[in-house]
Structure 1
């Protein structure tokens, strides 16, 4: 998607608020034709819902950018809420999981990754790690964990997971732009193998894992992707979370909350993976499981004790 990549590059290199706003709109419009590609009822509903949400938030952002340029004034609380609505984060997250549920996997992947870059880039200019921001981070972690609980649709689970990972990115923004962008890269890199597996198997629901006939290599790919996405050491997804927790030494309550809720979501990922082991072709993998799990748990315990 060339317009999408171009709009992200334009936003991150622009020195004008209006040009940044234009890049954000170009980024929004770049995904609309992809949503409407198959002309189905679901795709039309998705594109319309996405357009209405983005249009509403973009109008407010344009007004706020004009105020910044003319009066050097910005209401940070309003800006945070508008950007969170644009990103599909809590407390305005209700449209996001249902929208993601109806998309094909390729568009869903773009929505979960590339479409978040510009709003987060704007937020990083104004982020202040005060009590309100801590409450928003905690709220999104709660919504992510509760939304994933007992959810059967994989695309909705990934949408709620994205909300949780966005909280970690918001936490890292207060220290450096480098950290949230590094977290985004690692999150995207972790999501790619999972997206590849789900595209190959065309799975949409968790209970379908038991009936899938995918090969051993794909099962192992799913195993590593889910545990990395959950942030289990020593997998890749643990590294950015570890560094963020190390930087949150003066915010102990938030730090403990993030660890606890991440452990809860990790349980959901492990439950999803365990269902994939129930197919008849996985006997060899089951036999090797106890040894692999012992090594993994030992390494996980040692690394978590170092935090």
Structure 2
């Protein structure tokens, strides 16, 4: 099975799944907090590995950060119960609750822990941290949003995520800053519609799954490792397609949810925000294309005798999905209209 998951980890993944359901289906803030705590305590055993000090350090950092966010969230909901209908503090409460959820997701300005923790995780844990762990905070944040505050946060997310992607040699840190950038898009989609957020999140999760799976299969963690070995052309092609889809380049399928968001922003006269989003996507594409260009055209003379051939049924499905992604924007455009 993918990422070699044993029975103990399957048990904790099962709890992780149901903790999210507990939070998003709860009728009270206290029930949401309980679900978040169960989520935290089920993800820590997935992160920690006894023989790997980086994993243990990352799990400790993650526990401390999430505990601080949970304490802030619990303190705010208890304070809100005391001051039941005080509209003077309502704006303050919404900012604190949103900030607690943003800290749990690794958003600006609470993002400093996110790339460091990503650097110490396996690709499987990186995928969970960048996708599944964002579901509960996003949905809870949608219950009590401060629109002016989140407008500012989503702009800084796309800017800092783009700036942080430069000069990164680690693929995990690069995907971490890419996740911060995409978090700005997801917050804007959440402000527009929950259905649009779900659409964006599903597309983003699919592309991230393919990237993490391919990097796991060829066992690389740094950009310079891409040049040291001879890979199958289809693997190179798959990495290229998914990098371009993550950047939102048409006609790839990753452009479709971004196109919907930009369409809404322009229609509602948010021209400056749409310009910032578009320009940061172009800069992210420059970062991705620089890696792809080096990956295809440059190569090291080291270990030229080593040729990687992989036979995996999931790889065939990924190659098929990449073929769909090439024509996906054209198909989705016809379907949309």
- TM-score interval for Structure 1 and Structure 2 normalised by the shorter chain: 0.7 to 0.9
Shift of 1:69: 4.3
Residue matched to 2:39: 27
Q: Is the 8 A contact 2:76 2:96 kept in 1?
A: no
Q: Give the length in aligned residue pairs.
A: 285
What is the CA–CA distance in structure 2 between the aligned matches of 1:191 and 1:87, rounded to whole Å? 16
2:121 is aligned with 1:109: no
Q: Is the 8 A contact 2:161 2:181 kept in 1?
A: yes
Residue matched to 1:199: 216
What is the CA–CA distance in structure 2 between the aligned matches of 1:155 and 1:226, rounded to whole Å? 13
Residue matched to 2:241: 224
What is the CA–CA distance in structure 1 between the aligned matches of 2:152 and 2:22, rounded to whole Å? 32
Equivalent position SS for 2:251: coil
Q: Is the 8 A contact 1:231 1:238 kept in 2?
A: yes
Give 1:3's match in structure 2, choosing from 2, 15, 22: 15
Unpaired stretches in structure 1, ≥5 consecutive residues: 283-295
Structure 1 residues 201-257: Cα deviation after superposition (integer angstroms, max 9, x where no partner): 111111221112221121111011100011111112111100011111221111100
2:98 is aligned with 1:86: no
What is the CA–CA distance in structure 2 between the aligned matches of 1:108 and 1:268, rounded to whole Å? 20
Shift of 1:279: 4.0
Residue matched to 2:311: none
Equivalent position SS for 1:174: helix
Residue matched to 1:270: 289
Shift of 1:199: 0.4
CA RMSD of aligned residues (A): 2.0
2:275 is aligned with 1:256: yes
Instruction: Output aligned runs, 1:1-307, within 5 Å.
Output: 1-70=13-82, 71-72=84-85, 74=90, 75-130=93-148, 132-249=149-266, 250-277=269-296, 278-279=298-299
Structure 1 segments, 4+ long, off by >3 Å, are 67-70, 279-282
* TM-score, length-scaled by structure 2: 0.80
Unpaired stretches in structure 2, ≥5 consecutive residues: 1-12, 308-325
Equivalent position SS for 1:92: coil
